[in-house]
Amino acid sequence: MVHTMAHTLDLGRRVELVSMDPHAGDISLGLYREDSPEGPGYLIHTYSANPEAARRVEFLTRAAEVLGGARGAPGQRFRFPCQTGHQTAARRLFLEAAKLPTGDELQPRPLTVHDRKSGQDLTVEPLGAGRYRVTTSTADEARCAVLANGLRKLAEMDATEGQPVVAFPCGQDHHELVGLLLPRALNVRAALREEESALSRGQLSAPSSQK
Ligand SMILES: [Zn+2]
């Protein structure tokens, strides 16, 4: 199959990369963003002709919908129902989905996470209109603040001064995204390092250089 320049441009702008996917023969996968009047849509794409590639892309797109609360959009894309980009969260959603083997059972994650560092469960309570409060039965406010700060960074949420409350700027709920990001938000430095190393591994292989 010949990939013309027009085909490449149709993908949109690449915003994230998995350079070697161990669950699909080490193929490279890109996450592409295309803005449209209905809101930004994301496309997972690979240039690989590996027989597993199409099935992998299909699984990851489905995972984005289930684990991130995204909806299918034209052209195999997905987008968030609020029609907002949430690009930082979308990139994280793609990276988290790519950790799962193809065919893994997909279920939205709970709004509670066990914090090994303090030995307690932290819960995120929806307040409506895209706002969430981090709570714990032991009233350990420091860990609640850590989790709220992690969510703020990983999902580009707005913080409330002096309170463990974070909010999506679109003003709409995204329970699935919050549940997915909770474990990562407890160690946001490691999560950000992972993103940086994915980016520094460079460009998605062009068709000519990848079998
Ligand atoms: Zn939103």
- Digitized pLDDT (tens) for each residue of the chain, 211 residues in all: 444 444 455 899 999 999 999 999 999 999 999 999 889 999 999 999 988 999 999 999 999 999 999 999 988 999 999 999 999 999 999 999 999 999 999 999 999 999 998 899 999 999 999 999 999 988 788 999 999 999 999 999 999 888 999 999 999 999 999 999 999 999 888 888 877 776 666 555 444 444 3
Strand duo 131-135 + 120-128: pairing:
antiparallel
From residue 145, alpha-carbon distances to 65, 150, 185 in Å are 28, 8, 11
Q: How far is the CA of 168 from the centre of ligand 1 (A)?
A: 6
Q: How far is the CA of 41 from the centre of ligand 1 (A)?
A: 13
Q: How far is the CA of 23 from the centre of ligand 1 (A)?
A: 30
Q: How far is the CA of 25 from the centre of ligand 1 (A)?
A: 34
Q: How far is the CA of 101 from the centre of ligand 1 (A)?
A: 27
Reading across the β-sheet that carries 120-128, which strands appear in turn? 112-115, 120-128, 131-135, 163-167, 158-160
Q: How far is the CA of 170 from the centre of ligand 1 (A)?
A: 5
Query: So what's the pLDDT on residue 198?
Result: 67
The partner residues of 131 in beta bridges, in order of sequence, read 128, 167
Helix (H) or strand (E) holding 183: helix 175-185
**Distance separating the N- and C-terminal Cα atoms of the chain:** 12
What's the predicted TM-score (pTM) here? 0.88
Q: How far is the CA of 174 from the centre of ligand 1 (A)?
A: 7
